[in-house]
Chains A and B, each alone.
Chain A
Amino acid sequence: MAEGGEVVRNDRYDVLAKWSTPSFDALTRSVISRRLGAPPPRRFFSATEFAVLEAACARLLATPRGRPPIASAIDDDLHAGRGEGFRRPDTPPLGATWRTGLEGLDAEARRRHAGCGFAALDGSAQNALLHAVQVGDVDPSRFGALGPRRFFSEVLLKAVAAHYYSRPEAWNEIGFGGPASPRGYVRIGLDQRDPWEAPFAPAARGKP
């Protein structure tokens, strides 16, 4: 295990218990070590933009702020120019779309809360604002050509969900078997599992 990683352990199943087994090859171990190591430094977003994003990630994932460091991962993608490789006509490149959307969210917060920015609001006010952006119940001109609803779904939420479920602690939560090279699986039918899979479905299945 890499130092500095914060792993929320599921008491029934820890995918990283397979770290030294034939389920984890060397390349996979190095990739996941890097992800669990010290978060990359902020290089793309401004401090304000980053604070807004970090606060939004905490609400979108129902996790403590900055843990896991999803905002850092998104910053790192944008710094490196990693994106999906397509955008709608009349919209700027991905980085500018992110800046505009986060500024829009922050501006909407200040407008509704007497000048208080998004990152400083309490959780329920942040949730209400995110919901307003999701359904388009905000001033659309603040969200550029993409508009609030698409920014929320196609940019913000899509990236946040992807990064969270790329992490072992999330795999533990959902009982995902995780990396499986070169060992793979043998028992693949209904209600079948190999000894190196999560022993049973997480207890907290279904609705919260």
Chain B
Amino acid sequence: MNALAESPRAVGGRAPDVFARGAWQPMREHDDDDAVDFAIVGAGAGGATLACALARKHFSVVCFDAGPYWRPLEDFASDETEQQKLYWTDERISGGDDPIALGGNNSGRGVGGSTVHFSMISLRWRPEWFRSRTLLGHGFDWPITYDEIAPYYRAAERALSVAGPVRYPWGPPRGAYPYRPHPMNAPALLLARGAEALGVRWAPTPLATVSAPHGKSPPCVYRGFCNFGCSTNAKQSALVVWAHQAVAAGAEIRDLAMVGRIETDRVGERVTGVHYHRAGRWRFQRAKNVVVAGYAIETPRLLLNSATARHPQGLANRSGLVGTHLTTHAGPGVWATFEEEVRWNKGPPNMAVCEHWNYCDEGKDFHGGYAFMSQGPLPRAWAQVVATARGLWGEALRAAMRDYNHNAGYVPVAEVESRPENRVELADEVDALGLRIPRVTFGYSDNDRRLQRHALQFMAEMLEVAGGRDLWTSDDTSHLLGTCRMGGDPQTSVVDSDGRSWELGNLWICDGSLFVGSGAVNPSLTIQALALRMADRIEALAAQRAL
């Protein structure tokens, strides 16, 4: 990582202007001793969104991120290897029967979090998933309903200028997406061809990259490096959308600032601020409220690392649930070779989606659902899949890779049961700052495996009817969810439906940790919708003097 990227940029009353090389935007700053209304830990889909929404409501906000504050136009190369700098690669232990690959797969380091390199898939949840136990007979009910979150889905879709179809074929009517759909690339057309042949519906994926100019974002040019950072700012990441607007609205964002511990008052009833490491030293920011938005590993890690004599199990953890019920999305891939030239590196990687098995409950030997999308891996990532999933090397690897422009495949976002034994704990080992590192334990249930078998079978059939041959499969996961679940009962949840800790009234959580179940679509839109809703709830509680 270059030296520039490793010294804080958002200092001296200004933050990087993400829309221009070398440019700045003015930023309000706070003293460490100034007890701000909200200290937010993490500037990703949860934290940056909430920071923006709260700043617009005139709360004072400092939002911390452990990583750099990028200017995409000058910092993002068109290169997979160089762009590994976008990932959270601090050491973690990952074990259990089915250890989750962490790092690049499902994390971000930097303002904007993993939305800086996400696939931009912006899907709503199936409404029934919020009442899964009651309506579908498995999993858990959320403390909020689809109807409560729907206006915030709409608000998030508008804020991100989501490009999608006029009529999305699944779920409740939602009107046209704010921006017209992108033209589908070759792998997406092959998904559509397969779906038509099998008689299931397909759709252009609603994507958070603009199909027409929006503000200072130019339309997407289909360069295809989306998973390695968008160098043109077409992508509507939390960096480009929320962080930029948060600073404009009066929030302070502190980059390269790692929060290591949340402080509590003497009696252990309120949190008082955060200890953070920036520019080589530990500092303490006073705050009236602390929001943890570090995603489903770093959020429980911080709560557990903040244990005190009065909170020996860690903060917000009287129930013992912090870190438990870790869930993810299974992503077993099916791949094939086609006669036609596909050239799947062009365009966003997932331009078509099939949610058939999210909305059809018949003919399943499992609970839950899955969506699947067309794919477009770049050579480095693709070579790793080919080499590790097929065990190919030498001439065999070189030969298989020469099919690159003729390959296509599908990968699902497949529901994974939320179970207490899958969890995040602290290892004994410490990192360079002396903070105990996370230990992740994960394994699939029998239901998870049946679901994935079904997905593989169906996707393989669809690839074949589309003209694919020489099929093979791979294994992966995506997204990290559920380690600080929300709920209606302090015994069975960590926070209430507003994201507020049951145990400490001024400690909040706002990220994928809140998820009560995994659902089976990419989580970022739901995380942003929850953050927007949380801001409205905080405003209402403040008006009632109930903060």
Contact = CB atoms under 8 A, between A and B. Distances in A.
Contacts of A161: 383-384, 386-388, 393, 397
A60 interface: yes
A188 B220 CA distance: 13
Contacts of B81: 31, 35, 162-163, 166
Interface string A59-101: 1111000000000000000000011111111000100000000
A130 interface: yes
Contacts of A147: none
A107 interface: no
Contacts of A186: 222
Contact of B394 (A59, A173, A192, A201): A59
Interface in B386-403: 386-388, 391, 393-399, 401-403
Contacts of A185: 221-224, 346-347
A86 B401 CA distance: 27
A162 B307 CA distance: 40
Given A27-B74, A185-B347, A190-B342, A89 B396 contact: no
Interface string B284-297: 00000000000000
A177 interface: yes
Given A157-B387, A176-B379, A188-B185, A61 B394 contact: yes
B296 to A, nearest CB: 14
A80 B147 CA distance: 50
Contacts, number: 216
Given A177-B346, A184-B222, A85 B87 contact: yes
A19 interface: no
A84 B104 contact: yes
B223 A184 contact: yes
Interface extent on B, as a size class?
35 or more
A162 B380 contact: yes
B177 to A, nearest CB: 20
Contact of B382 (A59, A60, A86, A165): A165
Interface residues of A, number: 66
B35 interface: no
B402 A204 contact: yes
Given A177-B345, A183-B221, A201-B406, A85 B185 contact: no
B221 A192 contact: no
A197 B388 contact: no
Interface string A160-198: 111111100011011111111111111011111100011
B189 interface: yes
Contacts of B398: 61-62, 173, 208
29 contacts: A25-B231, A27-B75, A28-B79, A35-B81, A61-B398, A62-B397, A85-B88, A87-B92, A130-B393, A134-B393, A160-B387, A163-B81, A165-B401, A170-B401, A176-B379, A179-B225, A180-B221, A180-B223, A181-B221, A182-B232, A184-B220, A184-B224, A186-B222, A189-B185, A190-B342, A191-B186, A191-B340, A198-B405, A200-B341
Interface of A: 24-25, 27-28, 31-32, 35, 59-62, 82-89, 93, 127, 130, 134, 153-154, 157-158, 160-166, 170-171, 173-186, 188-193, 197-198, 200-202, 204-208
